[in-house]
């Protein structure tokens, strides 16, 4: 059977895990914690993070959706003069590792299916590497990946294609035999810039109309990936 690719590189949040179900409750708790009980500070933090306090949900244009953990920390620290970016970043990393994960599709059987097809697998997230390891460990899939990188792993961060090319280089594959799967323009722009195939999923806060122009295909979630790969 001929597959469309030899390897798949996944984004993490909004791709392997439902973004809203996983991160909105965490975001609400984090903003409350950082506000120290001040209503004015809570509103300032929510504005900086593009977090809708009424819906208790991140807006699609939030820097938390596609940016790095450091970028998220910087936007929050901008309204917390008594806290450094490093301090806020450390808090986000510690608390983020404990976020209530909701899988976008049953991940253990999905990864087993992809492995059975002979595909090499990786994860490249703009979250911290330590958080990626914690989340993949928690759902029991860390061991299936040949490559796991965060924004702080030394390869750079999306939308720069460098961390994606680090994956294909490690495997000795031509980039056009790799599929980048993600839920944001950062993921897909990085994939396009790297010369990879790009698959968008709709388990993040960004809609198909924004993602479709950057993707070879738009899928409801990662559970539909094997069917698309085998249709090649």
Q: Are strands 51-52 and 57-58 parallel, antiparallel or unpaired?
A: antiparallel
- Residue 201 burial (C-beta neighbours within 10 Å; 0-12, 13-18, 19+): buried
The single residue of 11, 127, 152, 187 carrying the catalytic annotation is 11
Q: From the CA atom positions of the chain, what is the Rg in Å? A: 17
Q: Is 13 a catalytic residue?
A: no
From 70, 77, 64, select the one nearest 34 (Cα to Cα): 77
**SS percent in the chain: helix, strand, coil, step 5:** 50, 15, 35
Please state, in angstroms and rounded to a whole number, the distance separating the CA atoms of residues 134 and 61.
Answer: 26
Active site members = 11
């Amino acid at each position: 059977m001929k597959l469309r690719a030899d390897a798949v590189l996944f984004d993490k949040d909004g791709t392997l895990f439902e973004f809203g179900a996983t991160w909105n409750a965490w975001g609400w708790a984090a903003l409350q914690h950082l506000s120290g009980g001040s209503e004015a500070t809570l509103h300032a933090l929510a504005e900086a993070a593009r977090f809708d306090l009424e819906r208790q949900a991140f807006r699609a244009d939030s820097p938390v959706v596609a940016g790095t953990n450091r970028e998220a920390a910087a936007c929050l620290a901008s309204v917390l003069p008594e806290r450094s970016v490093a301090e806020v970043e450390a808090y986000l990393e510690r608390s983020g590792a404990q976020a209530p994960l909701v899988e976008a599709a049953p991940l253990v059987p999905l990864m087993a299916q992809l492995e059975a097809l002979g595909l090499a697998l990786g994860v490249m997230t703009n979250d911290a590497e330590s958080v990626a390891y914690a989340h993949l460990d928690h759902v029991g899939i860390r061991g299936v990946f040949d490559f796991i990188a965060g924004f702080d792993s030394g390869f750079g961060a999306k939308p720069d294609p460098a961390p994606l090319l680090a994956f294909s280089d490690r495997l000795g594959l031509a980039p056009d035999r790799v599929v980048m799967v993600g839920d944001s323009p950062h993921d897909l722009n990085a994939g396009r810039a790297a010369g990879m195939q790009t698959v968008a999923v709709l388990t993040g806060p960004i809609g198909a109309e924004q993602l479709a122009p950057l993707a070879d295909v738009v899928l409801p979630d990662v559970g539909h990936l094997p069917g698309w790969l085998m249709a090649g």
